[in-house]
C-alpha cells in the first residue's frame, strides 16, 4: 500500500519579476519536493491588490510567474500550480476567518506596520486583514507544512492560532500546519549592494538579475557588480565579512557551476576581477538560458497556458471546496442547492 504524501503549500505575490535569487535560493529546490510531498504552489494575485498595480502588468506578471515556475522544473503533473483568484474558496474562507481573527492580533502584525509606513497614502482594509486571507490560503488545503522565511513566521503562527480557535469552537476542522524550514539554497545578494538580499520588487533593477533578462543585460550587470573597495586586497577569495561583493559573486558562480569555493579561488588565482565577473556573468547566462527560452515558449502558447490555469484551478478547487463546505456547515450557513 502506497504511503500518502504529506501536503505542502506555498504562494508568492506576482508583484515583481522573479530573480536569480528567487531561483537559486528557492525555486531550484522545489522540483525535488514533488517526490516527497503533495505540493501546492499558487500565484497570490488577490494579495497583490493591497497595493496599487497597473492591471495589465499584474495580469502579465501572474501568467509569467506561472510559466517561469514550469520552466524552472515544476512539473504541473506532479505539483498543483494555480492562480489564487481562480479558486473562489480563498476569498470566501478569508471572510469567514476574518470573523475569527482578533483586531489586536492583526494590529500586531509586523508586515502591516512596515507596509503602512511604505504606503502611507493607501493604508486600506485589505492591508490590515490580509493575514486572515493568508490563513485561508493555507488552511483550505489542510497542509502539513508551510515553507517559511523569517519574514513569514508570524503569519504561520497566526494561522495556527486561528485554526486552533476555530477547532476549539466547532470541533476538529482544520489541520494545524507546521512551519517548514526549507533546504537552504544559495543566498544571492544585490550586485550593487552585497549587504542586501536581491529583491524582486526593486524597481530600478541595477543590482538584480531577473530570470527573463537578456544575455547582454546580464553580462552588463555583472561587469558593473560591486567587488571590493579600491584599497582592499584585489583577489578572488571567499571572505564574506571582508569581501562581501566577491563572496556574493562566488556564491552565484558556485551555485551555477557546482564548483567549490577552493576550486574557484584556484581557477582565478592571478586573474583580475574583470575576468572573474565576466565568467560569473557567462555562467548565469547559461544557467538561465533554458529557463528564459522555455518560459518565453509557454507564454506564446495561449492554449497551453489556459489549460494549465484551468487544470490547476480544478485540482485546487476540489480540495478547497471540501474544506469550505465543512466550515460553512460548522458555522451554520445554509448549504446552497447545486
- Residues annotated as catalytic are 115, 197, 200
DSSP-derived secondary structure letter, 145: E
| Phi, psi (deg, nearest 5) at residue 194 | -70, 0
Closest CA to 141 of 281, 301, 5: 5
Sheet hosting strand 145-147, strand order edge to edge: 79-83, 37-43, 6-12, 145-147, 178-180
Which grid cell is 224?
Answer: 558593473
Q: Nearest-5° angle of CA 23, CA 110, CA 127?
A: 85
Tell the residue number behind the cell numbers 476567518, with chain if given.
97
DSSP string of 173-240, one letter each residue: -S---EEE-PPP---PBPSS-TTSB--TT-SS-TT--BTT--HHHHHHHHHT-----TTS--S----T
User: Cα–Cα distance between 152 and 166 in angstroms, integer?
Assistant: 22
Closest CA to 61 of 80, 74, 48: 48
281-315 core/surface letters (b: 16 or more CB in 10 A; e: else): bbbbbebbeebbebbeebbeeeeebeebbeebbeb
User: Cα–Cα distance between 161 and 17 in angstroms, integer?
Assistant: 33
Q: Cβ contacts of residue 6 below 8 Å, gap of 6+?
A: 36, 37, 38, 144, 145
Closest CA to 68 of 325, 216, 290, 320: 290
DSSP string of 274-332, one letter each residue: HHHHHHHHHHHHHHHHHHHHHHHHHHH-HHHHHHHHHHHHHHHHHHHHHHHHHHHHHHT
Amino acid at each position: 500500500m502506497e504511503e500518502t504524501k504529506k501536503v505542502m503549500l506555498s504562494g508568492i505575490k506576482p508583484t515583481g519579476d522573479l530573480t536569480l535569487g528567487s531561483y537559486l535560493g528557492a525555486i531550484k529546490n522545489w522540483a525535488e519536493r514533488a517526490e516527497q510531498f503533495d505540493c501546492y504552489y499558487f500565484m497570490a494575485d488577490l494579495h497583490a491588490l493591497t497595493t496599487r498595480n497597473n492591471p495589465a502588468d499584474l495580469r502579465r506578471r501572474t501568467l509569467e510567474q506561472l510559466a517561469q515556475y514550469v520552466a524552472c522544473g515544476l512539473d504541473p503533473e506532479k505539483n498543483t500550480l494555480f492562480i489564487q483568484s481562480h479558486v473562489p474558496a480563498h476569498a470566501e474562507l478569508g471572510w469567514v476567518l476574518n470573523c475569527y481573527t482578533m483586531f489586536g492580533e492583526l494590529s500586531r502584525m509586523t508586515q502591516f506596520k512596515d507596509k503602512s509606513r511604505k504606503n502611507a497614502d493607501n493604508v486600506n482594509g485589505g492591508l490590515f486583514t490580509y493575514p486572515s486571507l493568508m490563513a485561508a490560503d493555507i488552511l483550505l488545503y489542510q497542509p502539513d507544512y508551510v515553507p517559511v522565511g523569517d519574514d513569514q513566521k508570524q503569519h504561520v503562527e497566526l494561522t495556527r492560532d486561528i485554526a486552533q480557535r476555530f477547532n476549539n469552537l466547532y470541533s476538529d476542522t482544520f489541520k494545524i500546519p507546521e512551519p517548514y524550514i526549507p533546504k537552504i539554497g544559495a543566498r544571492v545578494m544585490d550586485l550593487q549592494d552585497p549587504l542586501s538580499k536581491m529583491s524582486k520588487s526593486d524597481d530600478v533593477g541595477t543590482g538584480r538579475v531577473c530570470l527573463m533578462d537578456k544575455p547582454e543585460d546580464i553580462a552588463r550587470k555583472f561587469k558593473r557588480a560591486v567587488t571590493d573597495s579600491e584599497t582592499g586586497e584585489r583577489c578572488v577569495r571567499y571572505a564574506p565579512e571582508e569581501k562581501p561583493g566577491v563572496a556574493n559573486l562566488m556564491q552565484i558562480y558556485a551555485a551555477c557551476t557546482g564548483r567549490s569555493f577552493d576550486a574557484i579561488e584556484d581557477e582565478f588565482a592571478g586573474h583580475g576581477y574583470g575576468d572573474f565577473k565576466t565568467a560569473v556573468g557567462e555562467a548565469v547566462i547559461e544557467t538561465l538560458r533554458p529557463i528564459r527560452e522555455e518560459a518565453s515558449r509557454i507564454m506564446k502558447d495561449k492554449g497551453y497556458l489556459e489549460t494549465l490555469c484551468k487544470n490547476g484551478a480544478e485540482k485546487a478547487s476540489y480540495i478547497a471546496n471540501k474544506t469550505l463546505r465543512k466550515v460553512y456547515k460548522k458555522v451554520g450557513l445554509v448549504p446552497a442547492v447545486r
